[in-house]
Structure 1
Amino acid sequence: MAQRLAALRKKLTAIQLDGLMVTNAANLRYLTHFTGTSGVALITRTSAFFVTDSRYTQQAYQQVAPQGYAIVESAGSLFAEINRLLRKLQLTTLGFEADYVSFNTYDDLADLFDVGLVPTSGIVEQLRAVKDPDEVALIREAAAITDQAYQHVLTTIHPGMTERQVADDLDFYMRRQGASSVAFDTIVASGPRSAMPHGVATDKVIAANELVTLDFGCYYHGYVSDLTRTFAVGQPSSELKHIYQIVLQAQEQVIKNARAGLTGQQFDYVARQVITKAGYGDYFGHGTGHGIGLEIHETPLASPSASDTTLVDGNVITAEPGIYLLGLGGVRIEDDLLIMSSGNQILNNAPKHDLIVV
């Protein structure tokens, strides 16, 4: 935590801010270890305060105080307590997280605070993009739970089940393996619905000879995993088998080439050129990857427009190309990659190298 605060203070100095007010829950957890729902951090170039209410004071002393924060209990508005600190510290410029503060809240803060309010974006998120070994270990554990859950589904799914039944079974299985919650609404898309990239589970009955795409993840001690696998219940059409091999080849090329120094655009292009050369470029409409960590979508992003993003050592990013054929079905294969200067490590071990038929 000392290193995280030092890195943040270096950024504050570089942009000439006296302090930063942190309100986003994921950023608070990253900087303070706080897991409650009511808290604001005030971090200056020399000090750190955490303001919460009586419901979370004891929790703050357990989680946040050991990280070097002075705990302040507020009997009313948390922002009013922040204002008292600003006056005591005599700060003149204060950054706030513009992406997470509504206009109405900003209007109230402008009236309340007697400092220069400066909108900021991505300051903490840029720090979060580079995972330390402890963070990687937690993501690896989350990935292992998803791997086990996929193997579980392969042994239990059968024609006649609904997508929702599969999703419920999958979600509860991950909890039994130690997950605290799902990372997002589990996607179970079967048959023609597998052509929907975000086809969240419905009451559709899974039939024989259909593809099924599962896209799911879990939280483990605050960190997420994100896995997608496509498999078949019975024998699918020859074209669906064909596009599976194309998507697999595209993902394999990404894994072969992904490393620090590659731009998000280049990362995306590696997969996209494989799919385009195979004649399916018009059927791959989303980006090839996104960062994961405390949230399911983080920096960096990999897409055709991500030319200003450069992968660095310590990023964890998904590799998830896909092909989606309306009315027929679709295929997506996704793994979580730890980016290194020498290449990458795949954090998942779920089988994928042949189209699995159950």
Structure 2
Amino acid sequence: MLKDRILSAQGFLQRFDVDVLIFVNLCDIRYLTGFTGSSGTLVLGRDEGWFLTDSRYTTQASDEVSGFNIIEYRSQLEGVSSLLKGISAQRAGFEAGHMTVALYNELSATLPAVHFTPIGAELDHLRSVKDAEEVQLLASSAEIASTALLGILDRIRPGALERDVALALEFAMKSAGAEEKAFDFIVASGKRGALPHGKASDKVINSGELVTVDFGAVYNGYFSDETVTVAVGKPDERQREIYSIVKDAHDRALAAVRPGINFKELDTLARDYIAEKGFGSNFGHGLGHGVGLEVHEQPVVSFRSEGLVEEGMVFTIEPGIYIPGWGGIRIEDTVVVTADGYRILTKVPKELQIIT
């Protein structure tokens, strides 16, 4: 798997007419080398590659990284500049979205003979199509998270604090094998549901409220992302109506997922339906995003996206309606694109669940 990934990355050398590529994004480095530490730089050439890190990680790198020359440096600038001089690199491409301005300026000043080429969105798409191993890890991460939520649903009850629900969910995930929570969980009840990123607070959950829970796990470095909205006590007519609109928008977009469709078209299917029902101004964010070694990565599924869906991509479908002073509803699943459609990785049923 790593060999195929490296070959894909090396394709950018010819595409951008550079001698080497400099990777500083740790997720890209892990993707290409298997390194799981928190400090390192990868320099990839046409026939050879170099992994550079400091003394804290040289032993770990020797265990995790194969097929690359491992170099210990005292500083990133010193290590990378010495290497580029040593291999007589004349043109170096780098991750424009991840290298700091400070490091770029320092490298440019230290190596005036090297022409540095910023590579942006193209490299950002390197991880957008997942291989079979990645899909399995993503499925395992999603299953851990979904099972954990189903196991603590009874904690979402009148009198409970939002933060206590989040804490119970985190404990359940880690007990089930998660390395970490994917992000600070969103637990937003009642009027706080109008906050798309309403992190769990000290608010008390009351009967008659909707509660939105946005959660995910990390398993072997891979993330999951899922959102459910549940009713605590019997929902009223308006709660049922708006939930039904969001669920229908979710299902319409989901049913259209297949290789070759435009991301913008998927977003439009959900967005136009919500607008037709009178809530167009209450759905402001994009329909979804890629999930992998980061919880938000390429591709982006939104009204601004121009790309096409490809087999092997993994992304979310998450429409929502948010009404200030009333609350909000979001429904989110993560899917992997198959040859003729999709497969849902997240496991919590998305019919409205009523907790009594």
TM-score over 0.5 (shorter chain): yes
| Alignment partner of 1:314 out of 309, 312, 315 | 312
The CA distance in 2 between the partners of 1:354 and 1:326, in whole Å, is 21
SS for the counterpart of 2:183 is: coil
8 Å Cα contact 1:315/1:339 also seen in 2: yes
Partner SS for 1:58: helix
SS in 2 for 1:128: coil
Equivalent residue, structure 2, for 1:300: 299
- TM-superposition CA deviations, 1:88-122 (whole Å, max 9, x none): 21111001112122222221111122411111113
Distance in 1, matches of 2:92 and 2:336, equals: 34
Equivalent positions of 1:34-53 (< 5 A) are 34-53=35-54
Q: Distance in 2 between matches of 1:11 and 1:228?
A: 36
Verify: 1:96 aligned to 2:94, yes or no: yes
Q: Distance in 2 between matches of 1:103 and 1:23?
A: 12
Report the residue type matching 1:26 in the other structure: C
5 Å-filtered alignment, 1:106-117, equals 106-113=104-111, 114-117=113-116
- Code of the aligned partner of 1:299: Q
Deviations, residues 291-347 of structure 1 (Å, cap 9, x unaligned): 1100011111111111x2211111001000111111111111000010123111111
Structure 1 gaps, min length 5 = none
CA distance in 2, matches of 1:124, 1:166: 39
Aligned to 2:119: 120
Is contact 2:157–2:355 with CA below 8 Å preserved after alignment? Answer: no
- After superposition, the C-alpha distances for 1:185-232 in whole angstroms (9 at most, x for unaligned) are 100000010111110011111111100000011110000000000001
Matches for 1:182-193 after TM superposition, within 5 Å: 182-193=181-192
2:52/2:71 contact within 8 Å kept: yes
For 1:124 and 1:2, how far apart are their aligned partners in 2?
17
- One-letter code of the match for 1:88? G
CA RMSD, 1 decimal? 1.2
Whether 2:224 is the aligned partner of 1:208: answer: no
Q: Mean Cα displacement is larger for which, 346-355 or 289-298? A: 346-355
Match of 2:341?
343
Q: Structure 1 residue 151 and structure 2 residue 147: aligned?
A: no
1:272 alignment partner in structure 2: 271
Amino acid at match of 1:89: I
Corresponding residue of 2:251: 252
Q: Is the 8 A contact 1:240 1:330 kept in 2?
A: no
Deviations along 1:26-72, one digit per CA (max 9) or x if unpaired, are 111111111111111110111100011111111001111x2x11111
Kept in 2: contact 1:240–1:329 (CA 8 A): no
Conservation of the 8 A alpha-carbon contact between 2:223 and 2:295: yes
1:319 counterpart letter in structure 2: I
**Cα distance between partner residues in 2 of 1:161 and 1:341:** 44
What TM-score do you get using the length of structure 2 for normalisation? 0.97
Letter of the 1:148 counterpart: T
CA distance in 1, matches of 2:54, 2:353: 53
- Structure 2 counterpart of 1:107, one-letter code: N
Residue identity opposite 1:129 in structure 2: S
1:123 to partner: Cα distance:
4.0
Alpha-carbon distance between aligned partners in 1 of 2:72 and 2:35, rounded to the nearest angstrom: 14
Whether the 8 Å contact between 1:192 and 1:329 is mirrored in structure 2 is: yes
Task: Output the CA distance in 2 between the equivalents of 1:128 and 1:97.
Answer: 13
Aligned equivalents of 1:153, 1:241: Cα separation in 2: 23
| Cα separation, 2, equivalents of 1:162 and 1:353 | 24
Separation in structure 1 between the aligned mates of residue 203 and residue 5 of structure 2, nearest angstrom: 47
Moved more, 243-252 or 94-103: 94-103
Task: Tell me the matched-pair count.
Answer: 354
* TM-score, normalised via structure 1 length: 0.96
